[in-house]
Amino acid sequence: MIYLPPHWKIRHLNSQLIVYSMSYQSVSTAVVNSIPLSGSVPVEVNLAGDSHDVALWIWEQLVPQVGSATTLQGEIIRAIELLSWEAQNNSNLNWDNSFDALIAFLKEAFLGQSMLARWLSDTDKKQIAADLARLSCFILPTELDSRVYVEELPYINDDLYDRLTDYLVQFCRQHPAVIFF
């Protein structure tokens, strides 16, 4: 649902949502391409702004509140964010087969036969493979003995998750079409 001040109006025109305000001095308008109409999904990723803005747009527009996304871009962001949340907020204490499935999905998306994987360089793929291996190889904090090695703990720094997100955003900048699967 869209909330607007009472003097603003909404009009649908040529698959775009036009938001406008008429005042005594002028008419202000805004074309809002990123608002899905009738529950539909946008056909292109909005590339306005920096990488964080694009990733946020993908999260807000292509990731449903419940369940899996229906687009490659949305599902990749959803998987990265779920893995990040689990490690940073729960120390991977809730890790189960569903998180292994997220890692497997990201491996297929980034390293398999997808359009994204074909776009990545071999150097990028090596870095992604190392990042995904690091995410899935850890010892739970409850199982550590007296020797505490940081590399054995769940990965909680933002850099790895941000790097995976940046690969997706770079791909979207070259191929903005939403990929349904």
**What is the pLDDT averaged over residues 30-51?**
71
For 167-178, the pLDDT digits (tens) are 999 999 999 999
Hey, how many other C-beta atoms are within 10 angstroms of the C-beta on 99?
Answer: 18
Hey, how many other C-beta atoms are within 10 angstroms of the C-beta on 20?
Answer: 15
**What is the pLDDT averaged over residues 113-135?**
97
Of the candidate ranges 65-79, 134-148, 161-175, the one whose mean pLDDT is the lowest: 134-148
| pTM listed for this prediction | 0.77
* pLDDT at position 117 over 80: yes
For 79-106, the pLDDT digits (tens) are 999 999 999 999 999 999 999 999 999 9
Rg (CA), the chain: 20
DSSP class per residue in the chain: -----TTEEEEEETTEEEEEEE-SS-EEEEEETTS-STTPPPSB----SSHHHHHHHHHHHHS-SSS--SBHHHHHHHHHHHHHHHHHHHTTTT--HHHHHHHHHHHHHHHSSSHHHHHS-HHHHHHHHHHHHHHH----GGG--S---GGGSPP--HHHHHHHHHHHHHHHHH--B--B-
